[in-house]
Structure 1
């Protein structure tokens, strides 16, 4: 079983997608993202984890996704089923996806 672990120099590709959404559509967006993860993303090669975060003010949703490689992310984004969910999400919110690597981790 995979889980989200954030550490430096782990070689994991991280996609962070920040969605700007109207308050009344935040839960609908979360539902679409969750459905896409369950029906498509989890079954794609290289998938590790997805975490969906919601802002307390209702105007943002963050999709924090970990994959084995940038190529796995690119292949998933090219998948017609994944594109269908991206289109549904895009109809509700403005997305700003970017690839990241962990620069540092701090603990108490």
Structure 2
């Protein structure tokens, strides 16, 4: 389960893929397939995919134990075909960050 918390020191990637609406589902499928490989790398914590309602964006929120773990995965030859597929159908905008604030509504009784 993904946990978004300012109390955890993790490396976070928010990747925004801009696609033509007819490619949104394909982009989602590519990212799901890539996650099946990426989740086996040391330091992987979680991945979450979001689809914009207008069909033009796929947002991937991924957390890693460290930036070094992320870079080791990113440079591995097994993931390169997936990255190439992404670049072929999307404009890719990676945002590297840390969680600074997170708030949850209280649980309902």
Band of TM-score, shorter chain: over 0.9
Distance 2:88 2:23 in 1: 10
Distance 2:62 2:17 in 1: 14
**What is the DSSP-based 3-state SS (H/G/I as helix, E as strand, rest coil) of the residue aligned with 2:39?**
helix
Paired residues, number: 105
Q: Deviations over 1:58-97 (max 9, x none)?
A: 0000010011000011111101111211110110101011
1:103 aligns with 2:100: yes
Point out the structure with max Rg over C-alpha.
2
- In the alignment, which residue of structure 1 is the partner of 2:72? 75
C-alpha root-mean-square deviation of aligned residues, in Å? 0.9
2:81 aligned to 74, 84, 107, which one? 84
- TM superposition outliers: structure 1 runs of 4+ over 4 Å: none
The unaligned stretches of length 5 or more in structure 2 are none
TM-score with structure 2 setting the length: 0.92
TM-score with structure 1 setting the length: 0.93
Task: State the Cα distance separating 1:98 from its structure 2 match.
Answer: 2.0
